């Protein structure tokens, strides 16, 4: 069980994020929830790429005696995580700009009071 | 009623996510690493870069990075569109 | 020509992307040049797509490996699995690409007049092109993570465009809902991709499908993928965002959103048929799709009947029509590998897949006519609109064609695809077929109500006479021409376009073989 | 909101050049050391955000227009996709500079080496264009959001 703690952390983050998205009423808190959900998934992705006692897959000044490729962590999950982090930033920026605009129109960030669609 | 449905969805998804970590392989011991090993071994002579991660980002999976740059471009265009100043009001 | 065809999968995605990056710069110099540029790009896309799709339908799967010395060398010499991103265009992908480019072309023409008075048009056209990029990327890619990236491009571009008229509060609200749904679906897809990567160490769909050995983790990934994509295509338990965001978007964007939902539908089918094609979950996921389909059909149409807002009504019908596609293709999925498949399973899939194209055409057309009504009357409330047939003759005709087609009246293309679904689904369970017919009748009733209240009666007083501008009419003509073409020769279309698509979706081994060899 | 104090402004203007240099270093050495276009671009953009916080968005908006940033971003994206198009004589995204002995065209010796700037083929060029794009894009987002919040506050008054 102890060896699965990094996965546990990632999944816990994802569940916390999901909770915030589903149950919080404040639009900014929903945005925070989505950000946490994404961090959880990103953490999960990067933990999949770790090899025990391995170094980063970079040849510049590589420590002597590193076995190639067993002594290096997997490069692909790191690239994927970079991509998904940037996507997360983009989504977050757009959500926040929507929230700002909604606040301008309705004067509130409470999703129960934002009901222009259900007149 | 609605709240109970949301709670059910939340509980189901939490259970699904937790059940993954119980069945997943141990941390730090990847199962099949053929693609990554190929990249580590060949990144230097195929792309000429010392950093295998950069060679994945811009060469082996360069199309993903183009997509990622596009996502950022889209978000900037979206933010500037939504918050444009002289949208007639 | 063969050079272009060889590189067509990459070019079809890269050309609109390049154009999207260039549009803000052209916009600074001349608005007119920008419009011409965008339309030219959309027309080039359409022509290239038709040529390319024809090649795919006749010659089979196209493979394109990004960045390899040779487009067809998917697997490097010292490796047993694909390392680079592979675009894989089979009949189904080409079919969906044809839909996306056609509707984008119509929406592009329509937009010229429709958004003429708004600000921020440069970014509007940029995002329109980016939506096309996202759809084509989702449809052509053969890589799970790449699918996720294009899925996010599509979601972000659509959400920003739904909020285009940001001076209305409800537009931003609908866009917010849409974006929240996509940003829950996105991490779910990513989590599933991560699970698959952790299990098999590859991201290519064909390589994953070959290595798939049906563990618990695969099942969890399947559950996450199905729920995420069903959420994004507007199937019923997760449909609540559809009416909200379809209603508030500009009409041309709503037509695009219909196709965007269908891109998610394509991803759903691709995952069920190709990625999980030889696992024991096939029949179960087929049953789930049928269930989603039935619920969507029935709840969509019952919610549509009491609506007063014309676009809201049409969006509920969009949910209901999505149900037909899920029903048809789900029935095919249920029977996959069965001896019955070749008799009526294939017919069910052809019906479902044909319905995708028909739905894109007539629902797009209906949303564009709703936009034309809004353009003239400045309202979407059916109680206030009346007597438009007096001044808007062409729009009336287009609306009638769309309404007859969606209701499945005999000469129109909607009938052809619905008949295929009725006949074949009847063999699975007669009740399915009866419900499908009932929904069709309710749809007809609902649209007759709309026609009667919006186009009949005395003319409205405070509405200027005359038809909508030419570019809007031309956008509608593009879609009407498609409907008429499909209505005149449904047999030819089914044999030459729909059948190759259904065949390639059902044929998992050919998809795997194209990438992995032997 | 009151004006930030002189200490904040002074420290920000001292730190800003260092942030820029560090960010540009991360961008340029993306193919040799950890980092790359996105990471370096984010560092430089955070430097710009620091200025925005210290001097206020109105002061910055006088010097940098969001439309200029938008053009800069388009230019970065166009450079990136053009580099991908240039490989089209073989395939889209083909690394045509690697091993050509032209600029950035050298191949490093296999295994551990001290690192050579002149390697990596199109990778350093792509890093630079993506870096440009990310700097412009992130700054534009923050600038527009802060300007919008500011204009709202003035309207209320």
- Considering only CB atoms, B14 lies closest to which of A5, A15, A89, namely A15
Q: Tell me whether residues D74 and C22 touch, CB distance under 8 A.
A: yes
| Residue C509 CB contacts under 8 Å (≥ 6 apart), including other chains | none
Flag residues of chain C having pLDDT under 50.
none
Task: Tell me how crowded residue C506 is: count the other CB atoms within 10 A of its CB.
Answer: 23
pLDDT at C95: 92
Task: Tell me how crowded residue A15 is: count the other CB atoms within 10 A of its CB.
Answer: 18
Please check whether residue D53 lies inside any domain of the structure.
yes
Give C78→chain A minimum CA distance, Å: 14
Strand duo C62-65 + C86-89: pairing: antiparallel
CATH number listed for the domain at residues A2-106: 1.10.287
Domain residue spans of chain A: 2-106
- With a threshold of 0.90, does the pTM exceed it? yes
Peptide bond preceding A69: is omega within 30 degrees of 0, i.e. cis?
Answer: yes
- Residues of B with a Cβ under 8 Å from any C Cβ are 16-17, 19-20, 23-25, 30-36, 38-39, 41-42, 59-64, 66-68, 70-71, 73-75, 77-84, 86-89
Please check whether residue D1 lies inside any domain of the structure.
no
Chains that touch B (3 or more CB pairs under 8 A): A, C, D
ipTM: 0.94
Residue range B45-79, pLDDT digits in tens = 888 888 889 999 988 998 999 999 999 999 999 99
Interatomic CA distance for residues D118 and D116, integer angstroms: 5
Residue range D87-125, pLDDT digits in tens = 888 888 888 888 777 778 888 888 788 888 888 888 899
Interatomic CA distance for residues C448 and C435, integer angstroms: 20
Give C102→chain B minimum CA distance, Å: 22
pLDDT at A63: 83
What's the sign of the alpha-carbon dihedral C315, C318, C319, C320? positive
Q: How far is CA C116 from the centre of its chain?
A: 26
**What crossing angle do the helices spanning C508-516 and C499-506 adopt, rounded to 10°?**
70
Q: Is C176 on the interface with A (CB under 8 A)?
A: yes
Please check whether residue D59 lies inside any domain of the structure.
yes
B51 beta partners: A58
The domain in which residue D121 lies consists of 6-156
Q: What does the pLDDT average to over A3-8?
A: 85
Q: Tell me whether residues A75 and B52 touch, CB distance under 8 A.
A: yes
- Using CB atoms within 10 Å of the CB of residue C466, give its burial: 0 to 12 exposed, 13 to 18 middle, 19+ buried: exposed
Of the candidates C345, C319, C301, C327, the residue with the CA atom closest to the CA atom of residue C503: C345
Length reported for chain C: 518
Angle in degrees, CA D34, D36, D38, rounded to 5: 125
C161 and C194 Cβ atoms separated by less than 8 Å: no
| Residue C47 CB contacts under 8 Å (≥ 6 apart), including other chains | none
Residue range D22-66, pLDDT digits in tens = 999 999 998 888 888 899 999 999 999 999 889 888 888 888 888
pLDDT at D157: 47
- Using a CB-CB cut-off of 8 Å, the residues of chain C touching A40 are 187
Residues of chain A numbered 32-61 and touching chain B (CB < 8 Å): 47-52, 56-60
Please check whether residue D13 lies inside any domain of the structure.
yes
Q: Tell me whether residues A94 and C198 touch, CB distance under 8 A.
A: no
pLDDT at A116: 66
Nearest chain C Cα to A10, which residue? C191
pLDDT reading at D153 higher than 80: no
C245 and C178 Cβ atoms separated by less than 8 Å: yes
Interatomic CA distance for residues C274 and C263, integer angstroms: 16
Interatomic CA distance for residues C39 and C476, integer angstroms: 15
Interatomic CA distance for residues C13 and C135, integer angstroms: 9
User: Looking at the 3D structure of chain D, how many domains does it have?
Assistant: 1
pLDDT reading at B89 higher than 50: no
Angle in degrees, CA C382, C385, C391, rounded to 5: 140
pLDDT at D57: 82
């Amino acid at each position: 069980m102890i060896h699965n703690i990094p996965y546990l952390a990632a999944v816990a983050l994802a569940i916390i994020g999901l909770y915030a998205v589903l149950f919080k009423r404040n639009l900014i808190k929903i945005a925070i929830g989505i950000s946490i959900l994404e961090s959880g998934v990103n953490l999960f992705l990067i933990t999949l790429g770790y090899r025990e006692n391995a170094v980063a897959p970079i040849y510049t000044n590589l420590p002597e005696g590193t076995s190639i490729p067993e002594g290096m962590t997997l490069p692909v999950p790191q690239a994927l995580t970079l991509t998904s982090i940037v996507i997360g930033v983009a989504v977050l920026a757009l959500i926040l700009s929507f929230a700002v605009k909604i606040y301008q129109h309705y004067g509130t960030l409470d999703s129960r009071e934002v009901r222009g669609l259900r007149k | 009623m609605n709240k109970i449905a949301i709670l059910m969805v939340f509980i189901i998804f939490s259970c699904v996510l937790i059940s993954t970590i119980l069945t997943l392989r141990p941390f730090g011991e990847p199962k099949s690493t053929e693609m990554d090993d190929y990249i580590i071994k060949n990144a230097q002579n195929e792309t000429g870069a010392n950093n295998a991660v950069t060679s994945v980002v811009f060469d082996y999976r360069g199309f993903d990075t183009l997509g990622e740059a596009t996502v950022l471009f889209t978000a900037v265009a979206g933010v500037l569109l939504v918050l444009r100043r002289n949208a007639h009001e | 020509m063969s050079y272009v065809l060889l590189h067509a999968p990459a070019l079809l995605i890269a050309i609109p992307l390049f154009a999207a990056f260039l549009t803000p710069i052209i916009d600074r110099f001349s608005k007119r040049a920008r419009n011409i540029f965008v339309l030219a790009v959309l027309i080039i896309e359409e022509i290239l797509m038709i040529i390319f799709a024809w090649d795919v339908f006749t010659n089979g799967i196209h493979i394109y490996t990004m960045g390899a010395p040779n487009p067809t060398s998917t697997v490097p010499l010292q490796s047993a699995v694909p390392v680079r991103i592979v675009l894989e265009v089979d009949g189904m992908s080409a079919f969906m690409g044809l839909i996306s480019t056609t509707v984008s072309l119509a929406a592009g023409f329509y937009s010229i007049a429709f958004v003429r008075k708004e600000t921020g048009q440069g970014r509007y056209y940029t995002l329109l092109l980016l939506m096309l990029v996202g759809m084509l990327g989702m449809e052509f890619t053969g890589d799970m993570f790449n699918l996720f990236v294009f899925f996010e491009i599509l979601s972000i571009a659509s959400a920003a465009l739904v909020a285009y008229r940001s001076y209305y509060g409800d537009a931003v609200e609908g866009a917010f809902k849409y974006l929240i749904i996509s940003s829950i679906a996105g991490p779910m897809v990513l989590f599933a991709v991560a699970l698959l990567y952790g299990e098999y160490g590859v991201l290519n769909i064909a390589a994953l499908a070959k290595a798939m050995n049906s563990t618990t983790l695969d099942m969890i990934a399947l559950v996450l993928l199905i729920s995420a994509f069903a959420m994004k295509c507007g199937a019923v338990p997760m449909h609540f965002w559809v009416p909200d965001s379809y209603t508030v978007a500009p009409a041309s964007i709503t037509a695009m959103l219909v196709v965007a939902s269908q891109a998610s539908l394509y991803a759903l089918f691709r995952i069920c048929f190709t990625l999980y094609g030889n696992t024991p979950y096939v029949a179960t996921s087929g049953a789930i799709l049928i269930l989603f389909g039935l619920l969507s059909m029935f709840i969509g149409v019952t919610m549509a009947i009491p609506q007063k807002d014309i676009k809201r009504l049409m969006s509920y019908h969009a949910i209901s029509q999505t149900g037909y596609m899920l029903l048809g293709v789900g029935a095919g999925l249920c029977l996959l590998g069965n001896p019955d498949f070749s008799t009526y399973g294939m017919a069910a899939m052809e019906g479902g897949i044909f319905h995708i194209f028909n739905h894109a055409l007539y629902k797009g057309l209906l949303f564009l006519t709703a936009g034309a009504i809004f353009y003239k009357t400045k309202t979407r409330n059916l109680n206030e609109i009346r007597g438009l047939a007096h001044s808007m003759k062409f729009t009336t005709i287009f609306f009638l064609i769309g309404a007859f087609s969606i209701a499945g009246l005999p000469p129109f293309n909607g009938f052809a695809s619905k008949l295929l679904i009725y006949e074949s689904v009847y063999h699975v369970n007669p009740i399915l077929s009866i419900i499908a017919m009932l929904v069709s009748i309710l749809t007809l009733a609902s649209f007759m109500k709309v026609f009667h209240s919006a186009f009949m009666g005395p003319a409205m007083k405070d509405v200027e006479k005359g038809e909508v501008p030419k570019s809007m009419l031309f956008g509608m003509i593009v879609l009407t021409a498609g409907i008429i073409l499909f209505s005149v020769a449904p047999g030819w279309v089914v044999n030459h376009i729909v059948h190759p698509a259904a065949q390639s979706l059902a044929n998992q081994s050919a998809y795997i073989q194209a990438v992995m060899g032997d | 909101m009151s004006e930030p104090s002189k200490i904040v402004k002074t420290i920000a203007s001292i730190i800003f050049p260092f942030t820029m240099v560090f960010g540009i270093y991360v961008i340029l050495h993306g193919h040799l050391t950890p980092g790359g276009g996105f990471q370096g671009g984010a560092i430089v953009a955070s430097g710009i955000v620091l200025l925005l916080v210290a001097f206020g968005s109105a002061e910055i908006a006088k010097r940098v227009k969001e439309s200029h940033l938008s053009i800069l971003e388009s230019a970065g994206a166009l450079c990136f996709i053009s580099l991908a198009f240039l490989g089209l004589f073989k395939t889209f995204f083909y690394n045509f500079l690697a091993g050509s002995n032209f600029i950035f065209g050298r191949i490093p010796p296999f295994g551990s080496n001290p690192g050579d700037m002149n390697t990596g083929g199109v990778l350093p060029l792509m890093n630079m264009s993506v870096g440009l794009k990310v700097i412009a894009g992130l700054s534009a987002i923050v600038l527009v959001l802060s300007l919008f919040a500011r204009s709202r506050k003035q309207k209320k008054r």
